[in-house]
Structure 1
């Protein structure tokens, strides 16, 4: 019985620590910290730390971070617009965000837009297929990356 009580206490403590983490991130995001905005969006994308998956909230917070110039947030917004994840699907807006990130040298964005240098004699590349594939994986993969960034 003592072990069960100890396990319950430990579990409640861990849940409390995660919830406090989300609260701290939300507070910093509300104060305008771009990385915290991206982290909060990531929690909504993944449905972590006591927050349920909420694509609309994720898009709102990620766009705030993207508007502040956070390059990876710009890429996530592009993918979200390509997929219609939390926003109305809009290829022009997606391209706009990829172009902003590409202007800062973001390699994936350059590749998606077909603006990377292709070695002479290389096999022709299907940029449309790459863009569709990227739009499926970028939000969750970048969300995980944001959450491990200090």
Structure 2
């Protein structure tokens, strides 16, 4: 996951010229009485450019702006604002943003705590083949949660798909789950894995267009 995050951030920084935001820690500029969500862009050309691109609907810029607020890069940490921009990117089909929104919903960070909403966001990211979301979704479906019914065959599906992308922890959990399934259930779960195909998001389509 961390490797994926680093790779994504390198691409984002290159695409929006946000070199300064990806460097070392810097002093956060004073807000001068302005709301935290408005203060960062002032006096910072890179952040102004990033916000402008995000407002126009650029998915990479939206994700980068969300990360800036989430991690305090060149701006004060603002989890609510981070969620707002993750949401903008997620609604365009960005799997990474969908996954992080799921984490935020699960933990109640920057948005109301809701295990049901977390599962819904993970589902959207997992359906695109995003391994961390597949793992989170699979682990949750083993036992279920508040507003989430357990579904061990679906849990097997998502854990197996994540394991197929190199997630060793998901593979261990899949192996443990095998012992909890009846032979016919296991056969059906394996068939689901074999027949599964990733969905293509609007964001992926727009980035892959010539």
Q: Secondary structure at the match of 1:113?
A: helix
Which residue number corresponds to residue 34 of structure 1? 59
Contiguous gaps of at least 5 residues in structure 1:
1-14, 126-150
Which residue number corresponds to residue 104 of structure 1? 128
Using CA pairs under 8 Å that are at least 6 residues apart, name the structure with larger relative contact order, 1 or 2: 1
Which of 175, 187, 196 is 1:122 aligned to? 175
1:56 to 2:80 alignment: yes
How many residue pairs get aligned? The number is 108
Higher share of residues assigned helix: 1
RMSD: 2.4
TM-score by length of 1: 0.65
Which stretches of structure 1, 4 residues or more, deviate above 6 A after TM superposition?
none
Give the Å deviation of 1:109: 1.3
Q: Secondary structure at the match of 2:101?
A: helix
Give the Å deviation of 1:19: 2.3
TM-score by length of 2: 0.47
1:65-98 deviations in Å (ceiling 9; x for gaps): 0000011011111111111111011111110010
- Equivalents in 2 of 1:58, 1:30: separation in Å? 14
